[in-house]
Structures are given as structure tokens and as C-alpha cells.
Structure 1
Amino acid sequence: MSKDSERVESIVSEKRVKLHVFESSQREIWTVVGKGEEYWVDPMGKFCSCLGFYFGTLNGKVSCYHLKSAEIARKENKFEKIFFSDTEFSDFLYGLICDL
């Protein structure tokens, strides 16, 4: 098993993929908790905020292990769903962007 496959399996099995749902708008933000950092991912848009995704795409790779983890967790329904109020959306997004 490759190192990336082991990482993906670990992230999915430990439910480190998070779906943040804002009520009542039903806006969604997906994140993956890595080693000490949390990354914004868009499994349907094929995007991850990690540097590995950024530099990998420059070199012709199509994904990173965070994005692969989110795709698998979404398919297998193995993610944590966390609910927030719509009033928390701006602060959540601000915090996520500041961590980039």
C-alpha cells in the first residue's frame, strides 16, 4: 500500500473529513483535518487548499490525498457533519481563509 493510500485510509477511518452545514441557507464547506492543519476541499470541484495540491497541479498531478480522502468519505458516507448558524458563516470563512 502506498503512503498516500495509507494516509487516505487513516483520514477516512478516523472521520477527519468534515462537512460544515450552515442553516438555514444549507451552504456547505468541506474540510479535511491533516497533521495539525485543516484544509478546505471541494470534492465536486476537485480542489484542495493544501500546498501539495497547488504544486502537484503545476506538475501535472490531478489530486492530493486530502481531496482523495474527501471524495471517498463522501461516497461512503464516512464524514462528520457539523451544523452552524448562517450568522457564523462569515467568521468561519474568515478563519478558514486566514489559515491558508
Structure 2
Amino acid sequence: MNKDSDRIQSIVSDKRVKLHIFEPSKRNIWTVVGKGEEHWIDPDSNYCSCPGFYFGKLNGKTTCYHLESAQLAKNENQVETIIFSDDEFSDFLLGLISDL
């Protein structure tokens, strides 16, 4: 296996792909927890907040290992789902944005 596939397997097996669901609205936010950082991803739009995704796009890449991890986690039913109240949505977003 190469470095990225080892990294992807580790992320999936450690259940570091997170789906945060806010109720009752059913809004959701996906994140992938890395080493010391958490990246916001949108698997449906093929977007990740990591620098590797940004710079990869400049070089013609279409994905990063965070997005690949999310796809594998979804395929293997290894997504960690966390339920929040809609009242927590603003604070969650503020915390996520402050980490970017």
C-alpha cells in the first residue's frame, strides 16, 4: 500500500469520518479528523477545506485523501454519526470556521 491508502485506511478504521446531523432541520456537516486538525468536507460537491485539496486543484487533481476516506467510510458503513440540536448549529459553525 502507498502512504495515502495507509492513511485512508487508518482514518476509516478509527472512525474519524464524522457526519454531524442537526435536528430537527436535518442539516448536516461532514468532517474528517486528521492529526491535530479537523477538515470540513462536502462529499456531494467534492470539496475539502484542507490545503492539499486546494493546491491539488491547482495542479489538476480532483480529490484528496480526506474525500477518499469519506467515500470509503460510506461504502463500509464506518461513518461516525453525531446528533446535535439545531440550537447548536451556529456555535458548531463558528468553531469549525475558527479552525480553518
Task: Note the 1:14-53 alignment, pairs <5 A.
Answer: 14-53=14-53
Q: Distance in 2 between matches of 1:9 and 1:87?
A: 34
TM-score if structure 2 supplies the norm length?
A: 0.97
What is the CA distance between 1:72 and its match in structure 2? 1.1
- Give per-residue Cα distances to partners, 1:41-84, cap 9 Å, x unaligned: 11111000000000000111111101100111112210110000
Q: Distance in 2 between matches of 1:76 and 1:22?
A: 23
What is the CA distance between 1:30 and its match in structure 2? 0.4
Aligned-residue sequence identity (percent) comes to: 69
RMSD of aligned C-alpha atoms? 0.6
Q: Distance in 1 between matches of 2:17 and 2:31?
A: 6
Q: Distance in 1 between matches of 2:8 and 2:60?
A: 20
Return 5+ residue gaps in structure 2 as ranges. none
Q: Distance in 1 between matches of 2:45 and 2:71?
A: 11
Q: Does 1:80 align with 2:88?
A: no
For 2:14, give the aligned amino acid.
E
| SS of residue in 2 equivalent to 1:4 | helix
TM-score if structure 1 supplies the norm length?
A: 0.97
Residue in 1 that maps onto 2:59: 59
